[in-house]
Chains A and B, each alone.
Chain A
Amino acid sequence: MSLKIESVSKNYGSQKALDGISFSVKPGEILGFLGPNGAGKSTTMKIITGLIQADGGKVEICGLDILASPLEAKRKTGYLAEQNPLYPDMYVLEFLEFMGRLNGLKGKSLKDRIEVMIASTGLTPERHKKIGALSKGYKQRVGLAQAMLHEPEVLILDEPTSGLDPNQMLEIRHLIRKYGKEKTLIFSSHILPEVQAIADRIVIIHQGKLVADRRVKEESDAQEILVRVEFEVVNKSFDTSALKTAFPDLLVQKESESLFVFKGAADAELRKAIYAESVHQDIPILSLRKEQSGLEELFVSLTKEKA
């Protein structure tokens, strides 16, 4: 295991920020870290990087206890904080060199790694600029380059794509995926489709407790199918009784006169039946969309109830 967290807890005054969280991540695994705002995601990440101290529990990075041997453990991690703090007065190259040296790189290997990171994060056109003069997207790349510079065994990214435009998001996701193939990666995000796209496994925390820990693959297998259909309503509404007889476990949600959501396990069959039924009742379909339920529903159901 390259990252092992055992019943970690943290209190801020009387408020329990983390309440006995345990999970571990294997090398080559990408872990998506989910939870509503204030659930304790950033706190957990700060404890892993040794920035704050847990009140109880244990964090091991590649077998090194973060409290017993902090320097050795920190050498194996790379960290991009949520706010992506950078020195605006420093030049991109100067900053990367500074961070590389702090991570123990020097001489030619430092220069080479900086070149590799600048090329892979797409910083080449901005390499000679001051960080303060960069756009948000480029600053994020500098933050990522800094975190991956020394090829850490465990890369910790706190909301790496927040505030980026869709193109930049795609690029950064691609970069993250590539890195996660060889090393251990843990990242937090609010964007559920993003987590589904990148992560091998997801951990959901809510109010300081771990409420779900499962593989993304299982997630999409077990999920139900949602079909959202918009009908053209002229003078009569769509009658669902025939469909309900054909699919006994079908759930129908009528969102408006014209908008229906069908929820069931039989995917293609259901959609065919809806089409046939609409022809039969002479109510044209304006749109029919199949939606992934799963993660989003899981997230809402797990994180809403106790709030």
Chain B
Amino acid sequence: MRNILIIFQKEISVFFNSLIAYVVMSVFLTGNGLFFWIFGDNVLETGAADLATLFALSPWFFLFLIPAITMRSFAEEIRTGTIDLLFSRPLTRWEILLGKYLAACALVVFSVFPTLIYFATIWYLGNPTGNLDAAAASGAYIGLLFLGFSFASIGIFASTLTTNQILAFILAVFISFFSYTGFDFIAELPGLSGLNEWIIQFGMMEHFRSISRGVVDSRDLLFFLSLSTIFLLLSDLNLQLKKK
């Protein structure tokens, strides 16, 4: 436990010392803010007191920003050899892996946290005040976080595959994109109409949609947790192979 915390703290300090954290958070918040309040069908224009725009856009920002957070986590350490500093010390692979994963998750939480202001604003702007589907919004927040955590595990996995950060980034975006929307597209292929409902269940989007409706189903959460676990297990396998 102590070792996970030490790695976690080091990763967080790397995020904040190397500007990654600030850039990710400002891009996420600026982007969301612009689309939410100013561009296109913004909330003031449509007059609907909900956070739909935020939750529709955030996953797409995450799709690019989270791989940017995680791309260096292992790739850089393996390239420069600093991974040997960690592996030659008395701590296990899982402690390193979880420390890095949780640090990436923490950054996701930090990014999402300020958008609670939007929630409060809409709450007060609503007519009458508080005319906002709080259940759906909190469900969507939970969904968004779990989605982010899953993207983080995919990013960590991609980062163990290569010593090139750009490659790790592209791989992570691709795998994340595929597991987010890919199954929806596959389900629409002609000839698969019978399996449609079944295939769609493999995609993150379906589970995110389901949580966003305000029903926090343990099955959906379990889906995201399993996804993270699978990618962390794959990362562990990868790191283990490097020892051979």
Find A99's partner among B80, B89, B243 (CB 8 Å cutoff): B89
Contact B89–A102 (Cβ < 8 Å): yes
Stretch of A82-90, A176-184, A239-247, A286-294 lying at the B interface: A82-90
| Interface SS of chain B | helix
Interface contacts (Cβ under 8 Å), in number, total 64
A59-102 to B contact mask, C-beta < 8 Å, 1/0: 00000000000111011010101010111011000100011011
Contact A102–B6 (Cβ < 8 Å): yes
Does A43 belong to the interface (CB within 8 Å)? Answer: no
Contact B88–A51 (Cβ < 8 Å): yes
Contact A51–B90 (Cβ < 8 Å): no
Does A116 belong to the interface (CB within 8 Å)? Answer: no
Find A85's partner among B10, B14, B85, B92 (CB 8 Å cutoff): B85
Q: How many residues of A contact B (CB 8 A)?
A: 28
Q: How many residues of B contact A (CB 8 A)?
A: 23
Find B88's partner among A79, A87, A89, A90 (CB 8 Å cutoff): A79
B138-177 to A contact mask, C-beta < 8 Å, 1/0: 0000000000000000000000000000000000000000
Contact A103–B90 (Cβ < 8 Å): yes
Contact B89–A53 (Cβ < 8 Å): no
Report the nearest A residue to B5, measured CB to CB. Answer: A101
A59 to B234, CA, bound (A): 29
Contact B17–A104 (Cβ < 8 Å): no
Contact B17–A90 (Cβ < 8 Å): yes
Contact A98–B10 (Cβ < 8 Å): yes
Does B81 belong to the interface (CB within 8 Å)? Answer: yes
Find B243's partner among A51, A71, A87, A102 (CB 8 Å cutoff): A51
Does B219 belong to the interface (CB within 8 Å)? Answer: no
Does B46 belong to the interface (CB within 8 Å)? Answer: no
A217 to B182, CA, bound (A): 70
Does A266 belong to the interface (CB within 8 Å)? Answer: no
Give the top 4 A-B pairs by smallest Cβ distance, nearest first.
A85-B81, A49-B88, A74-B90, A85-B82
Given contacts A102-B6, A104-B90, 12 further A-B contacts (CB under 8 A): A71-B92, A77-B88, A79-B88, A81-B85, A83-B81, A85-B85, A86-B82, A87-B14, A89-B18, A98-B6, A98-B10, A101-B2
